[in-house]
Structure 1
Amino acid sequence: MAHFVIVGAGECGARAAFALREKGFGGNITLIGTEPLAPYERPPLSKGGWDPSPEPKFIAALERYRDQSIDLRLDTTVTAIDPAIKTIRLAGGETLGYDKLLLATGASARGFPGIGGVSQRISVLRTHADAVALHAALYPGQHIAIIGGGFIGLELAATARMRGADVTVIEGLPRVLKRGVPDAIAEAITGRHCQEGVDIRCGQVIEAVQEDADKAIVHLASGEAIFADLLLVGIGALPNVALAAEAGLAIDNGIAVNERLETSIADIYAAGDCCSFPLALYGGRRVRLESWRNAQEQANLAAANMLGEGAEISAVPWFWSDQYDLTLQIAGLADEAVAHVRRDLDDGAFILFHLDADGRLLAASGIGRGNVIARDIRLAEMLIAARAHPDRNALAASSVRLKSLLAA
């Protein structure tokens, strides 16, 4: 009987295991995770002023894994892969053979130079345990310093303020979200944080970080020292590739896969945060995406291709962030756009459409309260997938329904 092994019991790995069963795979499935908890959703760890309970939002109850005959092994580390004989080795010395192997090893919080790791006064956010510990430190009278003005740093800044803590965000680039969103959206986000009392410091160089029994101290090149009860490092994540690299798989900003999520070694696949892949929609450009929806989509695609379907990546990249009452959504990749068209909606919401030199829609970025932008971003996503060249005046006019442009 065939044995499929999945290394990584997060969003992608767990959903791939269930997708294999849904597609009719009757062989053995082993799902291996390093955390002691069953697979859970990660977005709630940072979004929406979270209040983590002793248990996170699980992807499925343990009974469902048993019902689907999925051998879920928690608190287990894979130490090596031997592609030549198609086995993996576990930390306790046990070896498992596989017919197909999926690596869904995710990513880890990026460390800041000069900071050895987490401690009583220095934290990161990647796991539910991190969230519970961090949550306990967010209350009125506490000063939280955050290194990094990206999505994770700003989401946590919003949460800390919603819980009454004082917050200082330290960003090395000239503005927040420099790599993620256009200037206009960054300005809107910055304004909202300032309105809530967050002290945002951009263009700052950190010379050193110290820690004593009571405070974390960030020394800036300007000579200023910022004292905080807790320092949060939120400067992105690095793909977990060590296991793959040691097994000889190609690495390129993650485990390199093709459009079918196949790695450089036969019968080994990779999906989710840990892998980089070519996007035909953008000329075969290789990208790596850290998003909830990408993990779900690639879980299904990996399962299909482990079963020989030969399906290719076709999804449009999509990302969202919740901060206070604002929701930001991005569809597509905007960094190669040369023209930008703005559509203003109600209550200060707006969408920016990003086009290339020929007028093709490459991406759309929007911000607004609640779900006001959701439908238009979804329609923009469909226009991007269709490689549409929509009329710019129609894009700008809120009276023109995007659905009509899709029909055209």
Structure 2
Amino acid sequence: MNPATAPLVIVGAGHAGGRAALTLREQGYDGRLLLIGDEPHAPYERPALSKGLLQGTAELASFSVCGAQQLRALGIEHLTGQPVRALDTAARRLALADGTHLAYRGLLLATGGRARRLPGVAPHWPNVLYLRTHDEALALRDHLRPGARLVVVGGGFIGLEVAASARAQGCEVTVLEAGPRLAGRVLPADLGDALLALHRAQGVDVRLNARVEAFEGGSQVEVVSLVDGSRLPCDGVLVGIGMQPAIDLAQTAGLAVGQGIRVDAFLRTSDRQVYAAGDVCEFRLHPQGPFQRQETWRNAEAQGRHAALNLLGAELPYEQVPGFWSDHYDTSLQMVGQAGDSPPSARRELGNGGLLLFFLDADQRLQGACGWGAGNSVAKDIKLCERLIGAGLPLPVDALADASVSLKTLLRN
């Protein structure tokens, strides 16, 4: 096929892939457009899987990026049940599972990943559960009954959000974290401590420095035994130990990979006709900075749209400030920018247990901020922090720590 008449193809029909497809149509691309996904569902956002869907307050239609009817109306061909088996960048074509080949003029890899599996777990145990997809969430929801004993392996955001949803359903919950604090790879110690206090106050048995020795049971897991000799009877186990990026297709094709598919400032891979976006995309925030991945709603939304614009020739560098949020019971944790590994430069107490943490560079410019508070109370402050990061202004530490000093005032000054 002539490359000029070949379709644009998106491999991965999750949030990033779906947003890219919609953006291409919004920007006036009217050629053939294929969206290839592993799941039978139209693209959807993932945050609700651990919250609203588990608690029965949300269903798939309410958090879909777009529905099947909209895809058809826009002329977006959504292929399911035909995973891509190989990518030939020299010939610009894909090999599908049924042996057919598909040429492309431009390609976006938004392949995401799957929940990381716990080694040594018998595959026939139906009550060892993971959470990455809609169908996995439904399977987990069936186990969240009042009085059910749930053991959560992993004290990151997925594990803790599931713990909160399980408590709301009346489950008895134990969280096992192998490290010394919760969400230790992402959050500063102050917020890890706040998370720990909140979950314990809600009745979750959180155990730090806890390592699983073995699962015991017959037709299903009945006991989780720990290295310290503890034995935890259970009705179900949720394993939340991270995500395994789906880089195999890119790696086999010879594209540059690390912990994800590596891209340049324009989200291009090492092949100029192939882009990457979303959870699988490994990019630099600054030209000389380290490669990183962002497994967040914000990143999937922004990169999906940005990659689509560049597929159409926009040549725009990706400069989105990273950020995320995580809801636990009636409390929200929000973060923008980069917190780094060092302690915060300033801490602002907001009352009622709320706080803001600020991270400055050597020139007193804001690089990152974290907020913790009831409901959505810190959202406005975090948005102002994002503007302060973009402004690149040197900021006084004492003013950041003083709740009587408006962040808006600092921005104006």
TM-score (norm 1): 0.96
User: 1:252 corresponds to which residue?
Assistant: 258
Return the letter of the residue paired with 1:344: E
Name the residue aligned to 2:325.
Answer: 320
The 3-state SS of whatever aligns with 1:63 is helix
2:38 is equivalent to residue 34 of structure 1: yes
Pair 344,2 (structure 1): closer, same or farther in 2 beyond 3 Å = same
Whether 2:18 is the aligned partner of 1:14: answer yes
In the alignment, residue 223 of structure 1 is paired with which amino acid? G
Amino acid at match of 1:21: R
The sequence identity of aligned pairs, in percent, is: 44
Aligned residues: 407
Which moves more between the two structures, 106-115 or 252-261?
106-115
Partner in structure 1 of residue 90 of structure 2: 84
- 2:79 matched residue in structure 1: 73
Among residues 170, 182, 189, which one is paired with 2:188 in the alignment?
A: 182
1:106-157 Cα shifts (integer Å, max 9, x gaps): 1211112222557312000011111111111101121000100010000000
Q: Does 1:25 align with 2:29?
A: yes
Structure 2 match to 1:383 = 388
Alpha-carbon distance in structure 2 between the residues aligned to 1:181 and 1:360: 20
Question: Structure 1 residues 78 and 60 mapped into 2: Cα distance closer, same or farther (>3 Å)?
Answer: same
Cα distance in 2 for residues equivalent to 1:390 and 1:152: 34
Question: Could you tell me which of 385, 398, 401 is aligned with 1:396?
Answer: 401
2:168 corresponds, among 149, 159, 162, to 162
Tell me if the contact between 1:337 and 1:355 (Cα under 8 Å) persists in the aligned partners.
Answer: no
The 2-side partners of 1:227 and 1:106 are apart by: 34
Partner of 1:304: 309
Q: Report the Cα distance in structure 2 between the residues aligned to 1:310 and 1:336, rounded to whole angstroms.
A: 33
Residues in 2 aligned to 1:356 and 1:113: alpha-carbon distance in whole angstroms: 40
Worse-superposed segment, 22-31 or 151-160: 22-31
Shift of 1:387: 2.6
d(CA) in 1 for partners of 2:69 and 2:118? 40
Q: 2:128 aligns with which of 110, 114, 122?
A: 122
Shift, 1:283, TM fit: 4.5
Give yes or no for contact 2:154–2:240 (8 Å, CA) kept in 1: yes
Deviation at residue 209 of structure 1 after TM alignment:
2.4
Q: Match for residue 292 of structure 1?
A: 297
Distance 1:406 1:203 in 2: 42
Q: Say if 1:387 and 1:287 are closer, same or farther in 2 by CA, change over 3 A.
A: farther
Query: Bigger shift: 114-123 or 6-15?
Result: 114-123
Structure-2 residue corresponding to 1:171? 177
Look up the equivalent residue of 1:113 and give its one-letter code: P
Q: Unpaired segments of 5 or more residues in structure 1?
A: none
In structure 2, the partner of 1:112 is 118
Q: CA deviation at 1:207?
A: 2.0
Gaps of 5+ in 2: none
User: Counterparts of 1:55 and 1:13 in 2: how far apart (Å)?
Assistant: 17
Task: Indicate yes or no: 2:273 matched with 1:267.
Answer: yes
Moved more, 52-61 or 372-381: 52-61
Aligned counterpart, 1:192: 198
Residue 232 of structure 1 is matched in structure 2 by 238
1:141 matched residue in structure 2 = 147
Q: Residues 7 and 116 from structure 1, CA distance in 2 versus in 1: closer, same or farther, beyond 3 angstroms?
A: farther
Kindly report which structure 2 residues correspond to 1:197-236, keeping only aligned pairs within 5 A, or say none. Answer: 197-236=203-242
Report the Cα offset of residue 399 of structure 1. 1.7
Distance 2:43 2:328 in 1: 25
Contact 1:147 1:171 in 2 (8 A): yes
CA RMSD of aligned residues (A): 1.7
| TM, length-normalised to structure 2 | 0.95
How far, CA to CA, are the matches of 2:229 and 2:353 in structure 1? 39
Query: How far apart in 1 are the matches of 2:124 and 2:137?
Result: 13
Q: Identify which range, 144-153 or 119-128, moves more after superposition.
A: 119-128
* Cα distance change on mapping 1:197 and 1:102 into 2, 3 Å: same
